[in-house]
Amino acid sequence: MDPSSLIIVIGLVLIFALYLWYAKIIRNKNQVFEALAGIDVQLENRSNLIPNILNIAKKFMEHERDLISSVTELRTRSTADYDSDDAQAVKEHVELASALTSEMGKLMISVEAYPELKSDQTMQQAQLSYNEVETKIAAARRFYNSAVGQLNNSIEIFPGNIVAKYVNVSPMPFFEANEGSKAPVDASSILG
Amino acid sequence: MLGQLFFSGKKPGTQSFGQLFKLYNKSILKSDKLNRNYSEQGEWDKGFSNHYTLHLKALVDEFETERVSAALSARKKLIWLTPLFVIIPVIGWQITIWEINESDEFQGLGLYFTGLSFAAATWFIKRSVVAYQNSIKDQIFPRILSFIGDFTFSAEVADKVKQFKDIGLLPTYSTETSEDNITGEYKGVKIELFETHLQKWKKRGKNSRLVTVFNGLIINLSMNKKFSGKTLVKQDKGSVGNWFSKNSKKLENVKLEDPRFENSFEVFSSDQIEARYLLTVSFMERLFELAEIFDNAEIQLCFENNHLLMVIPLRTPIFEPGPITEPEDFIDDAQSLLKEMHLIFQIIEILKLNMKLNL
């Protein structure tokens, strides 16, 4: 094989390898979007549950007005539209979701101090549903973080870093659980 | 049929051939090691000592008398037939030599004769033992199970596996032998489990023979809530093996964070989020515990529609009374049965299979 043919073959192999890497990055990026959409479905489920919980809580929790308005405000902000292609916007979105989880955790703990509210049947059912949706958010977060891990690896390892710059793909933020969301409310203590 | 009798693997419910020879020992007829008091071991049998006293203790003497009588009968037959265990192989050897010298085609008639003769002798010796063991299954197992709720036990079952053959956890098979079916309900979740032995005809040269393709326990949990996708938890078989065991193009590989779980299992699902919702850290722990109870069995699972199917290969059958050679006080039977059922209940609790939350 003459040198020029060899260079062409090496060049073709390199282009093919870069294409494979490019395809991998795009596949990983799409999986992150899919995972993010999965989180949003669960966050919306939670958003739909919160007004019901707040309505019941308001009747009994006179001293928790600040907490209730903080939850209401965070709920409104977290349901606002965002650009899922923009890493910074995604970061803010997941941080808001985490903050809402934390505030809701505080609210659920406060319920313990109101025996009447604690024994209210509607509240008990709402809390069970809330715990279920939080578990689903945790599952969606695990999928998202796994997808983000794969994407970030593929665009930070050479030659992925070059390909990523060329196709304008940047690392995505992880969805980290805060302490509040790591400790879901114990439904058995409420039912007990 | 001939091949099935001679070549078939050990089916659930059978005892080892070696166990038979323990009948030569006269001390098996003694009842001095009987324990008539149940001492509770943990959360899984809490309150059972009372249940034992009320429903089982009174039967210990009756069943021990039955055991001794069955063991005595089997022992007498064994002693009378002992010369046959020498004569049968000699005749089998003579048939083999005759076949090699006189016949154009070697068919292993001597082997068939030896195998069939031993099988017939064993069946004759064990007749009384089998009758005794069946009476334990019929009368004692339901009494043990009544402690955990309204559960039924049936030793005889047929055609149970057909409904699960397309799920992707069981191998293709030609014949099914199932037994020991337990059915009941826990917190609204229907539980059904049974032992099964699946065999498949395989060709070797001109002959076909039945080989065991699965021997173990199948647990089917049916609940009110429905899974949106299908999730399979299979044993890790390496990258090539896993690719073939994926079973369907609709299923994607699910990578989980727990390295211990990832080393043992491979998860495929049509819904990545639901797979992670189901396979939480506590569920993974219970799965390992369950495997440990079944002698580190290679458990496989499928979540689909409103079912959780668990397939557990077993080396030895589990729903069997203690050996005929040892005094029977039902304590070991109760402990293993209650421990297994307790773990199934824990899985129901962890997965909240009893709750329908309409989310």
B289 domain-assigned: no
Nearest residue of B to residue A188, measured between CA atoms: B349
B175 domain-assigned: yes
- What superfamily in CATH does domain A3-191 come from? LemA-like domain (1.20.1440.20)
Q: How confident is the model at residue B7 (pLDDT cuts 50, 70, 90)?
A: very low
Are the beta carbons of A136 and B359 separated by less than 8 Å?
yes
Q: Provide the shortest C-alpha distance from residue B357 to chain A (in Å).
A: 6
Q: What is the number of other CB atoms lying within 10 angstroms of the CB of residue B344?
A: 20
For residue B187, CA distances in Å to B219, B221, B280, B290 come to 16, 12, 21, 20
Backbone angles phi, psi at B210, to 5 degrees: -90, 125
Nearest residue of A to residue B355, measured between CA atoms: A128
| Parent domain of B180 | 2-30+39-226+305-350
Query: Is residue B196 scored above 90 in pLDDT?
Result: yes
Contacts of residue A87, defined as CB under 8 A and 6 or more positions apart, other chains included, come to A170, A171, A172, A173
Q: What is the pLDDT of residue A20?
A: 92
B284 domain-assigned: no
Mapped onto helix, strand or coil, the DSSP state of residue B60 is helix
From chain B, pick out residues whose CB is under 8 angstroms from the CB of A182.
Answer: none
- B277 to chain A, any CB pair closer than 8 A? The answer is yes
Query: Is residue A186 scored above 50 in pLDDT?
Result: no
Residues of A at the B interface (Cβ-Cβ below 8 Å)? Answer: 34-35, 38, 42, 45, 128-129, 132-133, 135-136, 139-140, 142-143, 146
Q: How confident is the model at residue B188 (pLDDT cuts 50, 70, 90)?
A: confident
Query: Is residue B222 scored above 50 in pLDDT?
Result: yes
Q: How far is it, in rounded angstroms, from Cα B110 to Cα B92?
A: 4
Q: How confident is the model at residue B168 (pLDDT cuts 50, 70, 90)?
A: confident
Contact A163, A20 (CB under 8 A): no
Task: Pick the range with the lowest mean pLDDT from A20-24, A167-171, B266-270, B309-313.
Answer: A167-171
Our CA dihedral for A105, A108, A109, A115, rounded to 10 degrees, sits at: 180
Helices (H), B103-177: 109-145
Contact A171, A150 (CB under 8 A): no
Domains identified in chain B, total number: 1
Q: How far is it, in rounded angstroms, from Cα B316 to Cα B330?
A: 19
Q: How confident is the model at residue A184 (pLDDT cuts 50, 70, 90)?
A: very low
Question: CA B271, B276, B279, B284 torsion: positive or negative?
Answer: positive
Nearest C-alpha neighbor of B95 from the set B79, B108, B82? B108
Q: How far is it, in rounded angstroms, from Cα B228 to Cα B224?
A: 13
Backbone angles phi, psi at A51, to 5 degrees: -55, -40
Nearest to A136 among B255, B257, B277 (CB): B277
Contacts of residue B229, defined as CB under 8 A and 6 or more positions apart, other chains included, come to B269, B270, B271, B274, B275
Average pLDDT of the residues in B164-184: 89
Are the beta carbons of A38 and B272 separated by less than 8 Å?
yes
Q: Provide the shortest C-alpha distance from residue A3 to chain B (in Å).
A: 38
B243 domain-assigned: no
- B162 to chain A, any CB pair closer than 8 A? The answer is no
From chain A, pick out residues whose CB is under 8 angstroms from the CB of B280.
Answer: 135, 139
> What are A98-121's pLDDT values in tens digits?
999 988 988 888 888 888 888 888
B279 domain-assigned: no
Residue type present at position A127: Q
Strand partners, A46: none
Contact B180, B13 (CB under 8 A): yes
B183 domain-assigned: yes
How many alpha carbons lie under 13 Å from residue B174 in its C-beta half-sphere?
12
> What are B101-116's pLDDT values in tens digits?
887 777 788 888 999 9
